[in-house]
Amino acid sequence: MSILHQHRCPSRSLTHVPASPRQSPVALLTCSATTTKPRSSRDQLVIEPRLETKLDPITPVIPTAGPPLPNDPSLQSTWSHRAWVASGYAGYILADLLSRVYHWGIDNYGDSSTPVFGSQIEGFQGHHKWPWTITRRQFANNLHALARSITFTVLPIDILCNDPVIQGFVTMCAGCIMFSQQFHAWSHGTKSKLPPFVVALQDAGVLVSRTQHSAHHRPPYNGNYCIVSGVCNEFLDKNKVFEALEMIIFFKLGVRPRSWSEPGTEWIEETDETQPQVTVY
């Protein structure tokens, strides 16, 4: 068998790369061979290049973009998500409760000579006499004492605990406690002088309002102690929870709370002569 001259294949390989360092397209050749005796075209030997496509195992397959289905798992809440939300809300509620415990204790027990809390007790008694002075304190002046206490309390917890849910709970609770004095100050301000977002939060019940807290500054001075949101006040006052605690302390220790006595001069609010009087309904 001989190869016709016009169908001879070149002696070089089918794929020829020029010697030039510059890249050039790969030459793909198709050769056919026949015998000296002509045959039908279907007997011709045809060499055709074929491109075989293989998936690259390294390159990830990108799915077709489109909106997720209604039951797509990525749209569902997990228990971790729920724990985060619940821990934040629990921290917020606990902060309001703790602000009541602290405020109730400071108002009813001890005096200026009490260790650790003496200056705070004296300050809160002064606050009942001149409540409007808290609105004149600058932001840092009002919060620095609580900020210092919160820092030394939260830092060890942050170092020893790596659970994000617990950290979220502690962060929310500690943050609300630290800012409680500012929330308290806002509850003594008039709406016309407060930032609009503060008024909106007070009206929504997220922060303690002027109307709610003003009841604490009226006789018999034994309720509405919460100064974060006031959300715990109604339940605790209605069920006389802290009055029961006062009875337990009295029978166990013989100590009477100040709220059982007629308010003295240190509890009677004086008038701010520098400001026009505002009646809260």
Tell me the mean pLDDT in the region 214-231: 92
> 64-110, pLDDT tens digit by residue?
567 878 788 888 888 888 998 999 999 999 999 999 999 999 999 99
Say what the pLDDT of residue 241 is: 96
Alpha helices (H) in 42-138, listed in sequence order: 79-108, 118-129
Inter-residue contact 24 to 17 (CB < 8 Å): yes
Q: State the DSSP string of 111-143.
A: -TTSTTTHHHHHHHHHHHHSGGGGGGS-HHHHH
**Tokens standing for residue 155:** 């830092």
> 2-60, pLDDT tens digit by residue?
444 444 444 444 444 455 444 444 444 444 445 555 555 555 555 666 655 555 555 55
Say what the pLDDT of residue 208 is: 96
Q: State the DSSP string of 143-171.
A: HHHHHHHHHHHHHHHHHH---HHHHHHHH
Rounded to a whole number, what is the distance in angstroms from the first to the last CA of the chain?
117
Inter-residue contact 192 to 66 (CB < 8 Å): no
User: Which CA distances in Å does 52 have to 55, 57, 93, 174, 216?
Assistant: 10, 15, 66, 64, 84
User: String of b and e for 90-116 (b: at least 16 CB within 10 Å)?
Assistant: ebbbbbbbbbbebbbbbbbbbeeeeee
> 233-280, pLDDT tens digit by residue?
999 999 999 999 999 999 999 999 998 987 666 666 666 555 555 444
Q: State the Cα–Cα distance between residues 220 and 225, nearest whole angstrom.
A: 12
Say what the pLDDT of residue 7 is: 46
CA torsion sign, 89 to 153 to 138 to 124? Answer: positive
Task: Record the pTM.
Answer: 0.70
Of 91, 229, 225, 230, give the one whose Cα is nearest residue 154: 91
